[in-house]
Copies of this chain bind each other. A is one copy, B any other.
Amino acid sequence: MLEDLKKQVLEANLELPKRNLVIYTWGNVSAIDRKTGLVVIKPSGVPYEDLKLEDFPVLDLEGNKIEGKLNPSSDTLTHLELYKAFPGIGGIVHTHSPWCTIWAQAGKPIPVLGTTHADYFYGEIPVTRKLTAQEIVNEYEKNTGNVIVETFKNLDPNNVPGVLVSGHGPFNWGENAHQAVENAVIMETVARMAYYTQTLSREANPLDSHLLDKHFLRKHGANAYYGQNTKEQK
C-alpha cells in the first residue's frame, strides 16, 4: 500500500540525521497521497537507522490507522491539521533543529535579513502565539496544528514554507517529503545567519522589499529564471 510514498518518506526521514537536523529520534517526516487522502508518517520513537518500509503507519486524515503495527509519531495530529488546512502541500517535517529552535524558544519571528532568506521565504518566518493552558492540557498536538493554521490566516503557506512553534521548534512543508526537508535545511541555515547578524549588529534592518521580490521571484513563479527550466525544478 502506497509503497512509493513510503519509500519517499523513509528516504526523507533518513535525510534528517544526515543533514544534522536531529539527534536520537528528534524529528519526523510525513507525506500525503492527495488522491486517497492517506498519510504515511514515521513511527514514534524508532531510531532512524532501524527504520524499515513496512514500519511506516498509514493513516487517514482523521487519524485512523489504515495500515501498520507501530504507533505513529506523537506529533501526527499536528501533521494532519496542516494537511487539512493547506491543500497545496504534500510533505511535512518537524524537528528540534537547534537554530530554528532557539528562535522558537525566544518567541521571535525570523526577519528577512538577506537574499538567502528571500530566495526561499517570501517574508519573515512567523512564530505562533503561545498555546493556552486549556489548549495544552486537551488535544495538545491537534491544537499545535491549529495554532499554526491560525498564524497563516493572512499568509500563503506555499510562499512561506515553514513556521516556528513558540517554545517548541520548527515545522516545514513542501510539495513532497523531500521538498519539506530541503526547506527545513534552508530554514535552519537562515535561522543561524539571522542569529549572527542580529548579535553582530542590533540595528540590522530587514531587506528592502524590492530585493525581497527580486530574489523570491527570480526563483519562484511564472517569470522565474533561475535554474535550467522556465519554472525552477523544485
Show the binding face of A for B, using Cβ within 8 Å: 23-24, 26, 43-46, 70-71, 74, 96, 98-99, 101-108, 113-116, 130-131, 133, 136-137, 140, 167-169, 182, 185-186, 189, 192-201, 204-205, 207-208, 210-211, 214, 218, 225-228, 232-233
Contacts and interface: CB of A to CB of B under 8 A. Distances in A.
Contacts of A115: 96, 167-169
5 contacts: A23-B186, A24-B182, A96-B115, A106-B200, A108-B200
**Residue among A131, A200, A210 having the largest count of chain B Cβ atoms under 10 Å:** A200
* Number of copies of this protein chain within its complex: 4
Contacts of A197: 102, 105-106
A167 to B, nearest CB: 5
Nearest to A74: B226
A101 to B, nearest CB: 6
Nearest to A233: B45
Contacts of A207: 167
B204 A106 contact: yes
A210 B208 CA distance: 40
A136 B218 CA distance: 12
A44 B99 CA distance: 28
B200 A198 contact: yes
A193 B226 contact: no
A100 to B, nearest CB: 10
A44 B204 contact: no
Nearest to A115: B168
Contact of A208 (B70, B74, B99, B167): B167
Contacts of A186: 23-24
Contacts of A102: 193, 196-197, 200
**Residue among A194, A196, A211, A218 having the largest count of chain B Cβ atoms under 10 Å:** A196
